[in-house]
Structure 1
């Protein structure tokens, strides 16, 4: 893992347990010509015009103020011309974020002295606007209600009160429903960590195929039927039938969704550990998918999909 020395601005390499405490930056990707690359840092070109140098300097300065000697920024700490390194980095990224001492979220579309708008409120932590100086807008703790209302991620997961494994597959999928990525495939790849999945990166396969592969990997390691619950919208009192919201987003002969946006948030509040909800979900998933030749129904639970051909 490469880290930026916040004093020298040089990259340093560390191996696993030898990695020192570090800050990590979460940000939306700007124009390629403005972002600082691995080669820019190697060549000492960290002051080139554009938002990349603003984020680089701001992150290093804030980390130093927080008594941290190192920082990690995805734009310049990964050599993206090395496909082996890029593949390893994407599969490791969730772990790197989780191990960081602090995460700074740079909200590039937030004017000074104004509340964050929807597009910028994707990440949490210490936030800054896109001026030459960073301004603290708030922390994950004191802005958790706002973040929850925008992202749909419940406060117990934001604040670490509940582990991510407590959320159903559909719930975790719904967190990416309104997310944008610069490359289509990254909409699937960015979800690897929250499902504890690793898989090869195949840029050029397209976002839909990448998302199919992600779901196939998830189905190999979980029995949570909510992975098939796309298109279902829970409403009304307990026991009411879910609405079939949209099944056009599936693919003929397959049980898999094309993209995260069709995992409805209204299903997301029901953890997989509640027997009545699991039973209900299985029953309606089975009913609405049973016309597909890819499914056979098992006798253990009514509507339980027991064999899948993806």
Structure 2
């Protein structure tokens, strides 16, 4: 697993771990323009990109939680390597589950100026929160469910709450039972129910709508981009059947 390290000079460096991975924080977000890639970070060309602000945000929050290491998907995976990408996607649920903290950066939720006495701050951000793009993306489903600690932040980096304090709202938005994202074993929920959690979610590549569910069903399988969603879904069901030891139910 490749992590970012927050150095004493305020900069970041990449570190790779095969065993004894240190405690780390992890970022959850939606991709936008000018994301910082692995190559950008390696050659130092990413600092002027818009996406660098999210990396800095994650680093600062991790430091506040006494965590020197953190993980950001845009730049901790070398996506030019198909082997590395495949390993990362099959490991993603575990990486989020094992993180000490997961910070959700909501780029489309903004707080009004703090000196505006006429504004009800809770209502001001709650509507934006309910309509956030983060709740419509395929990959963020596992990022809500897998980590024990998930904290939500506004565009300005202000804490809105966590998945415990906001559980009722999150349940209303997603239709996911509270116990599912508060630590109950996913095996307690049937296959159709878990599939339904992802029904309204979208991914840029159609196959990712299937691959983003691997951790939700506790299976691994090769990625075959170009196979289309239909065939990927068929392979997913086959892997679920194998892992169920004859107890597969729909």
Residue 213 of structure 2 is matched in structure 1 by 191
Residue 102 of structure 1 is matched in structure 2 by 101
Deviations 1:142-196 (A, max 9, x none): 0011111111211112111x21111111111111111111211111001101211
Deviations 1:103-138 (A, max 9, x none): 1111221122422033335354222233xx411111
2:105, 2:154 within 8 Å by CA — same for their partners in 1? yes
Q: Secondary structure at the match of 1:203?
A: coil
Residue 117 of structure 2 is matched in structure 1 by none
Bigger shift: residues 119-128 or 163-172: 119-128
Residue 141 of structure 1 is matched in structure 2 by 164
**In structure 1, what is the Cα distance between the partners aligned to 2:80 and 2:24?**
24
**Which has the higher relative contact order, 1 or 2, with Cα contacts under 8 A spaced 6 or more apart?**
2
Residue 118 of structure 2 is matched in structure 1 by none
- Gaps of at least 5 residues in structure 2 are 113-124, 145-149
Q: Structure 1 runs of 4+ off > 6 angstroms? A: none
Deviations 1:64-85 (A, max 9, x none): 1111000001110000000111
2:130, 2:173 within 8 Å by CA — same for their partners in 1? no
Q: Secondary structure at the match of 2:242?
A: helix
**In structure 1, what is the Cα distance between the partners aligned to 2:236 and 2:78?**
24
Deviations 1:12-39 (A, max 9, x none): 00113x10000011111223xx111000
**Equivalent residue for 2:154, pick from 119, 129, 137:** 129
Residue 28 of structure 1 is matched in structure 2 by 30
**In structure 1, what is the Cα distance between the partners aligned to 2:243 and 2:81?**
30
**In structure 1, what is the Cα distance between the partners aligned to 2:207 and 2:28?**
19
1:78, 1:86 within 8 Å by CA — same for their partners in 2? yes
Report the TM-score when normalising by structure 2.
0.83
Verify: 1:225 aligned to 2:249, yes or no.
Answer: yes
Verify: 1:117 aligned to 2:130, yes or no.
Answer: yes
Q: Secondary structure at the match of 1:195?
A: coil
Q: Secondary structure at the match of 1:127?
A: strand
Bigger shift: residues 84-93 or 200-209: 200-209
Residue 180 of structure 1 is matched in structure 2 by 202
1:24, 1:97 within 8 Å by CA — same for their partners in 2? yes
2:24, 2:69 within 8 Å by CA — same for their partners in 1? yes
Residue 57 of structure 1 is matched in structure 2 by 56
1:27, 1:105 within 8 Å by CA — same for their partners in 2? yes
How many residue pairs are counted as aligned between the two chains? 219
Q: Which has the larger radius of gyration?
A: 1
Residue 121 of structure 2 is matched in structure 1 by none
Q: Secondary structure at the match of 1:23?
A: strand
Residue 38 of structure 1 is matched in structure 2 by 38
**In structure 2, what is the Cα distance between the partners aligned to 1:107 and 1:173?**
25
**In structure 2, what is the Cα distance between the partners aligned to 1:209 and 1:30?**
28
1:24, 1:72 within 8 Å by CA — same for their partners in 2? yes
